[in-house]
Structure 1
Amino acid sequence: MSERVVPEGSRRRRRPTKQGAVLSERLIVDTALRLVALHGAEALSVRRLGAALGADPSALYRYFRNTDALLLALADELVGRAQEGWTATGDWREDLRSMGLRIHACYLAHPQAAVLAAYRTTGRPHETRTVERILGILRTAGFPDRLAVRVYHAFVDQALAFAAQDAAALALPAAAREADEQVWHAVYGRLSPDTHPHIAATFPLLAADMSGSGYPFALELTLAAAAALHPEAVDTAARP
C-alpha cells in the first residue's frame, strides 16, 4: 500500500464483497493474519488482500492508510488475542506468569505474524489496555512507580523477545528446523570430554532442555528477581 489518507467519514463500505461479507477492519485483519500465515510478509499487499476479500484493493484505504498501519493492527490483534479470557487472581506473580505465558503462546500460534510484529509499538486499544493492566498489577501489589515501570519493561521485553525468537524458529521451513534440531546430537553430542568437558558432562540434560523454549524458566527468574527487589510486595488475594 502507498501513503493515502482517507477522511474518517468515507471509511465505511456497506456493500458486500464478492464473498458476500461486509468489509470491515476486523475482516481485513483476520484475512491478513490468515494470508501472512501462508505467505509471510508478501501477504501484506492490496493485491493479495483485495483478491482474498473479493473487494477492490482501493477499498482497503478506507481502513488503513498503508501496509504499516495494517501491520500495527495485526500486532495489536495478537496482543488482544493473548488477553482473551485472562482474569486476575490477585496474586501478582501468578497474574504476570499467566499473562506472559499467554503472550508467548499466542505469538507461537501465529509465528509468521509474530516475526513481523513482535517488536512493534502500536498505541492501539489492545496494547494500551495490556500496558495498563500490567502496571496495575504491579502498583496494586505495592511496587513503587519507578520499580513498577522497570519491572514492566523487563517483563514485556522478555516475553516479546522470546516470542519473536521462538516464532522465528517455527516459521523456518520444516527441513531447516529439523536440521537445526539435529545439530545438538550430530555436533554437540560428539564433542570430546578432552576438549569440551562441560558440554560432555551435561549433554543429555543440555540436549533435552534445548529442545523446548527457555521462556518459562526465564520468566520464573524475572518474577523471582522482581520479588527480591521488592520483598514487601503483597498479593491482594491474600488480604483480609
Structure 2
Amino acid sequence: MATTRTGTARMRRRPTRSGVVLEPDLIIDAALRLIEAPGGNALTVRRLGVELGADPSAVYRYFRDLDALLIAIADRLIGETLTGFEPGPDWAASLRELGERVHDSMLRHPRLAQLRAVRFTAGPNELRADDIGIGLLLQAGFPGADAVRHYSDFIDAVLSLAAMDAAELAPSQEQTDKRALAQTYASFSATEYPHLAAVREHLPQVTSSPFPGVLDKLIYAIKARAPRP
C-alpha cells in the first residue's frame, strides 16, 4: 500500500518494550480502538504508543505520519465492506448492495465517515471496490467513459449521504432539533407558506435519512440509461 513505509525484516520483527512484535495491522487495530473510544476520538501518536506498549516513534517505521495511518485505516474498512460480497448476474441489484454495504460501514464507524467520503486511499481495497463497481456498469453495456462517470456519480453520492447520516450529534442536540422542527411545522402560517401547509402532516419525514430514497433514484436513473435491459 502506498501509505505504508516498508521497513527491513529486522525492523518488523523488533519487539516493543511490552514484548509485542509490531506490524501494520496491529497498529491499525490499536488506532481504530482509540478513534472509536468512548468520549471521542483519542488518537494521537503518543497515545498510540501507550496502547501498543511501544515508543511512539516506532509507528513511523510503518507509516510516514498520522495522516498515512488514517488513510490505511480507511482502506481497511473498505476491505471489510467488501467481505463476502459477490456480484451477481443482476448488475443493478449488485450495485445497490454495494451502495448499502458502504452506507452501513460508514454508520458503524462514524468518526471516520468524513475522511472516507473525501479522501482517496490509493490502497488495494479501494481499487478493488472501484474495479467491482465499474465492472458492474461495463456488464450493463456502458462504454468505458460512461461506466466511469456513472460509477463516480454513484459512489460519491453514496459516500456523501453516508457521511451525513454518520454525523455525530449529542443527544441534547438531537432533541433540540426535533423540538424546534415540531414547533415550526405546527405553527407556521398557512397564508404565508401555503404549499408547506398543504403537506404539513408529511413534513416530519424530512428528519429521516434520505439514503434509501436517493439510492432508489440513483439506481433507477442509471438503469434508464443502460444500453442493456
Normalising to structure 2: TM-score of the pair?
0.89
Closer, same or farther: CA 25–204 of 1 in aligned 2, 3 Å: farther
Distance 2:118 2:82 in 1: 18
Closer, same or farther: CA 117–48 of 1 in aligned 2, 3 Å: farther
Distance 2:145 2:86 in 1: 25
Q: Which of 179, 184, 189 is 1:182 aligned to?
A: 179
Counterpart in 1 of 2:119?
120
Distance 2:81 2:87 in 1: 14
Cα deviation, 1:141-168, whole Å, max 9, x if unaligned, reads 2111121111111111001101111111
Counterpart in 1 of 2:166?
167
Counterpart in 2 of 1:217?
213
Closer, same or farther: CA 17–81 of 1 in aligned 2, 3 Å: farther
Distance 1:190 1:49 in 2: 51
Distance 2:149 2:48 in 1: 40
Cα deviation, 1:135-191, whole Å, max 9, x if unaligned, reads 1111122111121111111111001101111111xx122211222233321222321
Displacement of 1:105 after TM fit?
Answer: 0.8
Distance 1:181 1:80 in 2: 36
Counterpart in 1 of 2:53?
54
Distance 1:206 1:165 in 2: 19
Distance 1:213 1:36 in 2: 25
Is the deviation greater in 179-188 or in 116-125? 179-188
TM alignment of 1:93-132, pairs within 5 A: 93-132=92-131
Counterpart contact for 1:75–1:118, Cα < 8 Å: no
Are 1:12 and 2:9 an aligned pair? no
Distance 2:62 2:126 in 1: 19
Counterpart contact for 2:16–2:53, Cα < 8 Å: no
AA at the equivalent of 1:219? L
Counterpart contact for 1:76–1:122, Cα < 8 Å: yes
Distance 1:117 1:95 in 2: 21
TM alignment of 1:137-176, pairs within 5 A: 137-168=136-167, 171-176=168-173
Which blocks of at least 5 consecutive residues in structure 1 are unaligned? 235-240
Counterpart contact for 1:17–1:23, Cα < 8 Å: no
Is the deviation greater in 116-125 or in 102-111? 116-125
Displacement of 1:206 after TM fit?
Answer: 2.2
Q: Which of 184, 189, 204 is 1:192 aligned to?
A: 189
Normalising to structure 1: TM-score of the pair?
0.85
Q: Percent of counterpart pairs with the same letter? A: 42
Displacement of 1:14 after TM fit?
Answer: 4.3
Distance 1:161 1:107 in 2: 10
Distance 1:147 1:212 in 2: 32
Q: CA RMSD in A?
A: 2.0
Distance 2:157 2:73 in 1: 20
AA at the equivalent of 2:214? A
Closer, same or farther: CA 102–182 of 1 in aligned 2, 3 Å: farther
Counterpart contact for 1:11–1:63, Cα < 8 Å: no
